Amino acid sequence: MKSRMISGFIIFFIVYSVFVYYIGWNGWIWLESAGLPLPPVLIYSLIVFMLAFSYLLGRTKFRMPVFTIIGSYWFGFLQYALLLLPLADLGGFILIESGTDPDKVIFWTGLLVILAFTAIFAYGTFNAYSPVVRHYSITIPKQAGSRKSLKIAMASDMHFGHLSGLAHLRRLVQKTNELQPDIILLPGDIIEDDPEPFIRKKMGDVMKGLSAPFGVYGVLGNHEYYGGAIPEFVREMNRIGIDILQDEVVEIDDSFFLAGRKDRTDKLRERMNDLLAFADPSMPIIMMDHQPAEVTAAAQHGVDLLLSGHTHRGQMAPNHLITRKLFEIDWGYLQEEATHVIVSSGYGFWGPPLRLGSRSEIVEIDVTFADVAEPHYNQNEGAIL
């Protein structure tokens, strides 16, 4: 098993290095065609190497945030370089073979690529830092005590830390509170791995401004697990009045149940039927599960509203074509049997602060409860309850 992991890492390193060399070679050829002063090859290679591996350097035990930030941007550059450069090289080859001056072809083709990158980064940055509010209205055919309706504000995948920072957090607090929700739900990836920058920047003091009559609740996402400091994260959330539900079910206002699952990263998380064993199925059941990987199970176990994130809707097109294949629903609304499912593209971002084909969002959900509960058929017992 260990030798297989080492072999896999070596193969990945070789393939990745080939991609990096290809990008670096294109840059060198363009600098030559532009007649710009060329640095020594060794210095140029070192710069490219530092860019390519800066994210790893930033995550060493020495904690060098500047490298983490550079590396985050590099991931966005890498993706679109591998999409744009082959097209540019092919087009340039055709023009050169047709008799056009090679230096002019390389210079103008490279300039077009630079302009394309400028447009991608400008538009992607705007989408990442300019959140919109998505609105959904659903009806749950159950009585919820004396309540006839419920307004939920939901934000997932904030990834607060370095690039998703204080300014973006202040926008979240302001826009969420403006909705005047009854309850605020945060289904995972609240921080970007390590809670250290969140705590050091005193982001909690801003986040505690989130306010709703029934409180603010969250669950763990995969990145809270990656950070390896869940107890520290949970303590910080408790300090600012945010309850992190870890395989827990709470009853809210004698009206509905709110269930929060641990992320599926945790192999020891409870099964859904065990988690919901003490939730009265005649009352509305709302569940937060970071990854939308168990939609069918939620429908089978009587969940009325399932809220998830995780997918970012691919974050940078055309990655949404991948997330669409991985999940039954990777963004938006789906109804499976009596279960309403809403998956957010997320408020923050992973890696580069870029969104293309997706948008930073806050989700507003208006829930209407039935005046009279509809009959509920229990398939296990073959009876109408």
The structure tokens listed for 11 are 């193969």
Q: Which residue intervals of 140-279 are DSSP H helices?
A: 166-178, 196-200, 203-207, 222-227, 230-239, 272-275
Dmax (CA) of the chain = 82
pLDDT at 246: 97
Domain 133-384 has CATH 3.60.21.10: yes
Q: How many angstroms separate the CA atoms of 249 and 257, rounded? A: 7
Q: What is the pLDDT of residues 125-173, one digit of tens each?
A: 999 999 999 999 999 999 999 999 999 999 999 999 989 999 999 999 9
> At a CB cut-off of 8 Å and minimum separation 6, what does 197 contact?
65, 161, 162
Contacts of 359 (CB under 8 A, 6+ apart): 127, 130, 131, 132, 345
Structure confidence by residue, pLDDT tens digits, 246-270: 999 999 999 999 999 999 999 999 9
- Res 25: pLDDT: 96
Which residue(s) pair with 132 in the sheet? 361
Cis amide leading into 318 (omega within 30): yes
Cβ atoms of 290 and 327 within 8 Å: the answer is no
For the chain, list residues with pLDDT below 50.
Answer: 376-385
* Degrees, nearest 5: CA angle 171-177-181: 135
Is the distance from CB of 288 to CB of 300 less than 8 angstroms? no
Whole-number pLDDT of residue 384? 31
Calpha distance 35→290 (Å, rounded)? 51
- Which pLDDT belongs to residue 373? 52
Angle (CA) 59 62 68, round 5°? 35
3-state DSSP assignment of residue 191? strand
pLDDT at 63 (0 to 100): 66
Domain borders along the chain are 2-127, 133-384
On whether the CB atoms of residues 88 and 112 are closer than 8 A, the answer is yes
